[in-house]
Structure 1
Amino acid sequence: MNYIWQHNHWPQFSYDSSKLSALAYQYAKQAAQLSGSLAHTDLDDSISAQLDLMVDEAINTSLIEGENLNPASVRSSLQNYLNLTPTPINVADVKAEGMAALLVDVRKYFNKPLSKETLFSWHEMVLAGFEDNILHSDLTVGQWRDSPEPMQIVSGPVGYERVHYEAPPVQNLEAFMAEFLNWFNNQDSHQDNQEDNQPIPGVIRAGIAHLWFEVIHPFDDGNGRIGRAIIEYALAQDLGMPVVLSMSTHIEKNKKEYYRQLNAASCCDRSELDDPAVLDITVWLSWFIHTLIAAQQEAAEKVSTIFEKTDFWQRHKNTALSERQKAVINKVFKAGKEGFPNGISAQKYAALGKCSKATATRDLGDLVAKNCVRSEGVGRGLRYFIALSPAP
């Protein structure tokens, strides 16, 4: 097995613009619509939507790497960094603090060139708290990896390991990363290699940047999380504002395919090291853009749910509801459209509201009478849905 960084023409990536232009346009159109919807809505709703997406991104970009973060700690850390609380909230989770710091840094400073120092700073954020873990005590933090041993991605038991990928040796890192950063920051290099003097669409630039960075794999650990932060950085530069999506949320649901696509785009046979077709990454970019479009659609649904929640409570601000009823409705909204696609039963209400089924049935009957929920079905098939529109 050989790798594209060993190719004789590395890193001269190519792609077929004709196969990607429609996808790139669809992404750009959706990005503009999503950003526009937030720009023209209530400020609190906009902040709430973006905060929810940032929490999702922090949790899922970590989960992809097998790291579980506490959602409440992540949210509190983000609120602190974004100055959304009158007084800072005490957060004991150092790893949650680190991921929150990374996401806020990406969103605050995306208009600046991407530098080695920025990447080193991000690496320290990503690995915050790992120094207390004996398994990671020998990691080089805030610097390129420096071990002479090969950086390999392997699986399988000891003695039967399977090498999926081997990154460039340490002596190549400085030059490889300098070339990457020069390309990323040099606007003159952002030319579509298929059409002279045509700028690379922002989403294609982001896809190239992510693959390029992951191929180099410059750090001992955290390359995936930093590589996905680079996606947001590149997309924000193209859009002129932070993106409204969480790509990692969608990747986590399709993690095996994500790694399969990265592996397929990164590896080659020895006989192909002089074949220009190996550096044609059209297939990778097509998958990448499709994934971003799906992430946008998920984000649009989340934003829509937040708007619906605001409209619902505005209509029912004078409706007499118990704290339990309010809490259950808010939990249903928080779960989103995927949370309870078939509505909730009295039994589910009882679990959400921590009450008896008899109490749940009374509460639901009252909510139906007040047009807060609507019912469908009969008997054991009776289900309740939030009434998102006023009574006729």
Structure 2
Amino acid sequence: MQYNWELSTWPNFTFSIKDFEHDLYNFAQQTGEVNALLKSLPDDIRQETLLEMILSEAIKTSEIEGEFLSRKDVMSSIKNNLGLNKTPDVVKDKRASGIADLMIDVRNSFSDILTEDTLWNWHELLFTGNKHINIGTWRKSDDPMQVVSGGVGKEEVHFEALPSHRVVSEMKAFIIWFNETKPRGAKEIKDPVIRAGIAHLYFETIHPFEDGNGRIGRAIAEKTISQTLGRPVMLSLSKAIESDRSAYYQALKNAQRSNEISAWLKYFAAIALQAQLEAKQMIDFTLRKIKVFDLFGAKLNDRQRKVLQKMYSFGIDGFEGGMTAKKYISITKTSKATATRDLKELEGLGILITFGGGRSVHYKIKEL
């Protein structure tokens, strides 16, 4: 079985949108609705929603690669970067700072052309202080660059990227393609999802870095959508991808066997649409949170406010495992009796609902 880069048709991708044209149309419609909704929001709510979206993308793109970062560290890094903390928070985890800085740079520079320096800078942001790989440069090793799973002796090679000696020329061709397909470019691709899907697959196939290709490849996809739309996009592709990681890897694996990529673009269009719908849900979630504090603020004690803020800080995905009396005690330093009473009051107000039973009662935020 040959890989796509070994075929004479590389990198001249062909496709038909017949089987997923409806997803492209729905994506365009949902994107317009989200943009209009954002414009109607007060500045503080719009900023809060934006922060949650950047946080989600940073956390989820890392989780896809097996890195689980502290939400607090990543959010602090995002706020530090944007100058939202009067006194910058100290963030010891360089990975959290790096991915946050990458997300902000992708968003702020969406309209800029793509260059080698752009990609090398993103790589440096991701791996600042890492002494185990070559940072900010293309891979040079003669060893095969393989995507492998399985234990020792049971390895399965899912994909082998083109050899390192071809990376320089292939990346020059990729960057030319990217810039020529942008709005008003010589080979403009007008649909943002089509262009982003090709860009992501093209980059991942070259796999130009020793590490970090997945995260940078997904950043390229976000830049592509934003650049094609002409505004920073409000969605998290990585959140949608991470919800079914195996499907993502399988779609990539299949796509890297041929340069006819209709099936890959069908998958990517569904992911982009899912991400846009989830963005709308996140905006609704932010509005519901504000509604809760507006409606019930006077009825809440300080302990309840603190716990609700903690639960809401985990976004639409919710507080992991739900809230329990034990967690409530840990957060508020109160007694078990008080914790149980406070939680029952929140349930009575219709803010929280229970799941589980017996001694395993958990609480989650009720959708209003």
- TM-score calculated relative to the size of structure 2: 0.88
Distance change >3 Å, CA 87–CA 261, structure 1 → 2: same
Matches within 5 A, 1:1-392: 1-131=1-131, 136=132, 139-186=133-180, 187-191=185-189, 199=190, 201-267=191-257, 278-317=258-297, 319-336=298-315, 338-339=317-318, 355-364=334-343, 366-367=345-346, 371=349, 373=351
Q: Residues 223 and 358 from structure 1, CA distance in 2 versus in 1: closer, same or farther, beyond 3 angstroms?
A: same
- 8 A Cα contact 1:55 1:74, kept in partner: yes
Shift of residue 367, structure 1, vs aligned partner: 4.6
In 2, the alpha carbon distance for the partners of 1:383 and 1:297 equals 28
8 Å CA contact 1:368–1:374 kept in 2: the answer is: yes
Q: 1:368 to 1:55 in 2, by over 3 A?
A: closer
User: Aligned-pair distance for 1:327?
Assistant: 1.8
Structure showing greater Rg: 1
SS of 1:58's partner is helix
CA positional deviation for 1:102: 0.7
Tell me how far 1:359 sits from its aligned partner. 2.0
The residue type paired with residue 169 of structure 1 is P
* SS of alignment partner, residue 18 of structure 1: coil
Q: What are the Cα deviations for residues 230-279 of structure 1, in whole angstroms up to 9, with x where unaligned?
A: 01100111222222121112222211111111011002xxxxxxxxxx32
8 A Cα contact 2:15 2:262, kept in partner = yes
AA of the residue aligned to 2:303: R
Where 2:157 maps in the other structure, the secondary structure is strand
Which amino acid in structure 2 is aligned with residue 215 of structure 1?
Answer: T
- 1:344 CA drift (Å): 6.7
Are the counterparts in 1 of residues 52 and 315 from structure 2 also a CA contact under 8 Å? no
228-237 vs 68-77, greater mean Cα deviation = 68-77
Q: Is there any run of 5+ residues in structure 1 with no aligned partner, and where?
A: 192-198, 268-277
Q: Report the alpha carbon displacement of residue 35 of structure 1 after superposing the two structures with TM.
A: 2.2
Which structure 2 residue ranges, 5 or more long, are not aligned? none
Letter in 1 for 2:216: I
Report how far residue 315 of structure 1 moved: 3.0
Per-residue Cα deviation, 1:259-316 (whole angstroms, up to 9, x for no partner): 111011002xxxxxxxxxx321111111111112222222222221111111222234
Asked if 2 retains the 8 angstrom alpha-carbon contact of 1:312 and 1:388, the reply is no
C-alpha distance in 2 between matches for 1:387 and 1:280: 46
Give the superposition deviation at 1:352.
6.4
User: What amino acid is the match of 2:301?
Assistant: S
- Shift in CA distance, 342/177, structure 1 to aligned 2, threshold 3 Å: closer
**CA deviation vs aligned residue, 1:351-381 (integer Å, no higher than 9, x gap):** 7655445323433555567x4647799x969
- Cα root mean square deviation, aligned: 2.8
Runs of 4+ in 1 over 4 A off after TM superposition: 335-338, 340-357, 364-369, 374-377, 379-389
In 2, the alpha carbon distance for the partners of 1:368 and 1:284 equals 45
Give the AA of the match of 2:42: D
1:375 to 1:245, Cα distance in 2 relative to 1, 3 A: closer
Q: Distance in 2 between matches of 1:341 and 1:168?
A: 41
